[in-house]
Amino acid sequence: MADVKAHEQDDTVHERVLYPEHVQRTESAAFRDNKHILTKKLQLGCWVCGTRENLEVHHLHEWALWPKLDAERVLEFLRCFDPYGFSRHMGEQPVESPDDIRNLLVLCEEHHRGVDTGVHKLTYPIWLPQRAVRGGGEITVE
């Protein structure tokens, strides 16, 4: 089997999302408290690159989609993807809000909203491996 040489691939993704009716987003007390726990008390860095600069907190299950989501299925997912161990410790406690600490992930601005690196801008199969790139390299290009 022949090796494929390093190369760029330019993809265009067109995404159409049907957001349900929802209240205008505000920073809830739960979100504020959980953000403080993650970034100040636990001093977690960006889940992708580890930096502690320009930190933001990302909802794994999008806030505006919450009215459309089944909380039991959200919990099922969060049991599998449990980056900080909160789901393991909270057991069967229902997930009642998108601001639940189990649904939050600390990211730097770049890996949250960056054009070529952010979770809101890349497909999951490209965004996720950024965490595992050898030697701080990059897999996306401007």
pLDDT tens digits along 27-46: 999 999 999 999 999 999 99
Q: Output the six-digit token pair for 47.
A: 């889940």
Whether residue 71 contacts residue 94, with contact meaning beta carbons closer than 8 Å, is answered with yes
What residue segments make up the domains of the chain, in order of their start?
Answer: 29-108
Q: How far is Cα 117 from Cα 24, in angstroms, rounded to an integer? A: 27
Q: Which residues pair with 56 in a beta bridge?
A: 107
**pTM (two decimals):** 0.92
23 or 88: which leads in pLDDT:
88
The 10s digit of each residue's pLDDT in 129-139 is: 999 999 878 88
